[in-house]
Amino acid sequence: MTGFCKKGYCFSGQGEIKFSEECGVFGGISYKYPVAPFIQQGLFMLQHRGQESAGICVGEKNPFIYKNKGLVMEVLSDRVVGKIRGRIGISHVRYSTQGGSDTTHAQPYVVTYLGEKVAVAHNGNVKAAVEMRKNLEKEGEVFITTADTEMILKKIIRELCKAPSKWTFEEVGQVLTENFTGGAWSILFLVPGKIFAFRDPMGYRPLSMCESKDGVFVSSEDTSFQMLENKSVYHIHPGEGVEISRDGFELKRFAAEMSSKKCVFEHIYFARPDSNVFGRNVYSSRVELGRKCALENPVNADIVIPVMDSGFAPALGFSQQSGIPLQMGLMRNRWVGRTFILPEQQMRSTGVRRKLTPIKEVLNDKRVVVIDDSIVRGTTSREIVRLLKESGAKEVHFRSASPKILNTCQWGVDIPTKKELIANKYEDICGIRDFIEADSLAYLSIEGLKEIFQDGWCYSCLLGDCENPENENSCKCSKLYESVC
């Protein structure tokens, strides 16, 4: 997995950051014990969704809030967690999307409303956020952060100022539906004695719930529930939510399910392979992407190698389909550390070499097919090709298990600007192949991707402007979807 964060080149728990991922939420109620250790473990399993900050809010009447920059186990250390009492709470891991990267933007946010504390944690983005914020400011609202989450909270408070003004699941759900439909929001509220969890009516982001002998929990990904015993897991549908309290839980529909827009990148890159997202196992999806890529883009080669980690499952699929043996030609150095941030473009190549080490004995004199989950700017792919050739590979054939990334995302995933995306820089795919210095280059086609996932998915960042429902501009797409050179 290779890529860049806003500040340069970031290394993190799951791998290098290709896009700024879009945060993770976890919360719940514990029947017998303090909830904080459950939250620590559940949130730790969502670390790949955000490495910038982590935070927790626990308690019924006067909740304890603790948040800071850093990884889950740094912020929510055993020492901190051991001191947190309380059986109900919510938590968040963040990678900056809307808003800055200082501690102020760490979630959950807590406000006092009519003498009661309310906390919120959110994963996703609000549609037309800039305009909505301006309107609220004109009405006299002030904001401490630039994040959408604070705006959602303040908008709800404004609406709840009107009678009957209670923090009920139904009232909050109604405000969300009336004001934020079209955006992506898996969102948790901690109100006195209760958690409300909502998944937006279009279902861009995943949200799951688990009932177990220890309590009831909600999470961005169901892999968070692995620590729990005697459990049943439920994947919350778009427009559905759950109210959790000491009395148990109740699943509720707060909005009609709209034409579904599940983010396909959850399967290509974001989610953990051991998660089941939108009714599919992520690992199986990635193997299938690799198989399809091999069917579409056959190549004569001696070995298939993955760009670890998210390239592993597609490489396995490519190998199974093509019959070319899978080898570990590039080792990933797990101990580079997240603090290693290289700010300048020219320094990124050094980052690749610190992150990935070639095994020359595997590569020497071989025709290599290298599989990555996707290609964003192309600079990392080029460095990988160079590394493989320097290590003795006779030929390097690059395969992307996703189609070209052509557009940015309006729903919380911080994809680089259109002009930074390599797929927009060259008129044809051979230009990209030349840039990355590969002997051949091929992407999975958009048709191939749609055959795997079919309807009800968001493919927006993979579509050219003239096919993109979010862009009205026309464009010259004739060569845009070429997928092999």
Catalytic residues: 23
The answer to whether residue 453 forms part of the interface with ligand SF4 (CB under 6 A) is no
The DSSP bridge pattern shows strands 356-358 and 330-332 to be antiparallel
- What is the largest distance, in Å, between two alpha-carbon atoms of the chain? 75
The answer to whether residue 388 forms part of the interface with ligand SF4 (CB under 6 A) is no
The answer to whether residue 207 forms part of the interface with ligand SF4 (CB under 6 A) is no
Which of 106, 117, 267, 241 is closest to 170 using CA atoms? 241
Q: Provide the H-helix boundaries in 273-410.
A: 282-296, 312-322, 348-355, 360-363, 379-390
Which of 210, 287, 362, 461 contacts ligand SF4 by CB under 6 A?
Answer: 461
The answer to whether residue 265 forms part of the interface with ligand SF4 (CB under 6 A) is yes
The answer to whether residue 38 forms part of the interface with ligand SF4 (CB under 6 A) is no
Number of residues that bind ligand SF4 (CB under 6 A): 11
R_g over Cα of the chain: 23
In the complex, least distance from residue 416 CB atom to ligand SF4, rounded to whole angstroms:
12
Q: How many residues does the chain have?
A: 485
In the complex, least distance from residue 206 CB atom to ligand SF4, rounded to whole angstroms:
11
Cβ-closest residue to ligand SF4?
409
Please identify, among the stretches 49-57, 261-269, 301-309, 353-361, the one whose residues bind ligand SF4 according to the rule CB under 6 A: 261-269
Structure tokens at 290: 């690799």
Nearer to ligand SF4 by Cβ, of 40 and 460: the residue is 460
Nearer to ligand SF4 by Cβ, of 147 and 264: the residue is 264
In the complex, least distance from residue 46 CB atom to ligand SF4, rounded to whole angstroms:
17
Tally of CB atoms within 10 A around 447: 12
Please identify, among the stretches 74-82, 288-296, 318-326, 407-415, the one whose residues bind ligand SF4 according to the rule CB under 6 A: 407-415
Give the integer Cα–Cα distance in Å for 92 and 168: 22
In the complex, least distance from residue 19 CB atom to ligand SF4, rounded to whole angstroms:
7
* 438 burial via Cβ count (<10 Å: 0-12, 13-18, 19+): buried
Nearer to ligand SF4 by Cβ, of 109 and 265: the residue is 265
The answer to whether residue 411 forms part of the interface with ligand SF4 (CB under 6 A) is yes
In the complex, least distance from residue 161 CB atom to ligand SF4, rounded to whole angstroms:
33
Nearer to ligand SF4 by Cβ, of 150 and 266: the residue is 266
Which of 95, 185, 204, 254 contacts ligand SF4 by CB under 6 A?
Answer: 204
The answer to whether residue 313 forms part of the interface with ligand SF4 (CB under 6 A) is no
Q: What per-residue string of b and e applies to 338-361 under the rule 16 or more CB within 10 Å gives b?
A: bebebeeeeebbebbbebbebeee
The answer to whether residue 283 forms part of the interface with ligand SF4 (CB under 6 A) is no
Which of 43, 88, 156, 458 contacts ligand SF4 by CB under 6 A?
Answer: 458
The answer to whether residue 278 forms part of the interface with ligand SF4 (CB under 6 A) is no
The answer to whether residue 423 forms part of the interface with ligand SF4 (CB under 6 A) is no
Structure tokens at 300: 């004569």
Give the integer Cα–Cα distance in Å for 449 and 466: 19
In the complex, least distance from residue 270 CB atom to ligand SF4, rounded to whole angstroms:
8
Nearer to ligand SF4 by Cβ, of 22 and 243: the residue is 22
Which of 460, 464, 481, 483 contacts ligand SF4 by CB under 6 A?
Answer: 460
Nearer to ligand SF4 by Cβ, of 23 and 413: the residue is 413
The answer to whether residue 263 forms part of the interface with ligand SF4 (CB under 6 A) is yes
Which residues pair with residue 276 across a beta bridge? 281
Do residues 189 and 120 make contact, with C-beta atoms less than 8 angstroms apart? Answer: yes
Which residue in the block uniquely carries the two structure tokens 């990267």?
101
The answer to whether residue 45 forms part of the interface with ligand SF4 (CB under 6 A) is no
Give the integer Cα–Cα distance in Å for 229 and 59: 24
Which of 287, 375, 409, 449 contacts ligand SF4 by CB under 6 A?
Answer: 409
Say which residues have a Cβ less than 8 Å from residue 403's Cβ, sequence separation at least 6: 443, 444, 445, 446, 448, 449, 462, 481, 483
The answer to whether residue 413 forms part of the interface with ligand SF4 (CB under 6 A) is yes
Nearer to ligand SF4 by Cβ, of 380 and 407: the residue is 407
Give the integer Cα–Cα distance in Å for 330 and 355: 10
DSSP secondary structure code for residue 451 in this structure: H
The answer to whether residue 129 forms part of the interface with ligand SF4 (CB under 6 A) is no
In the complex, least distance from residue 422 CB atom to ligand SF4, rounded to whole angstroms:
16
In the complex, least distance from residue 418 CB atom to ligand SF4, rounded to whole angstroms:
12
Which of 326, 385, 377, 393 is closest to 353 using CA atoms? 385
> In the chain, what are the helix, strand and coil shares in percent, each to the nearest 5?
30, 25, 40
Which residues pair with residue 92 across a beta bridge? 25, 55
User: What 3-state class would DSSP assign to 250?
Assistant: strand
Binding site for ligand SF4 (CB under 6 A): 204, 263-265, 409, 411, 413, 458-461
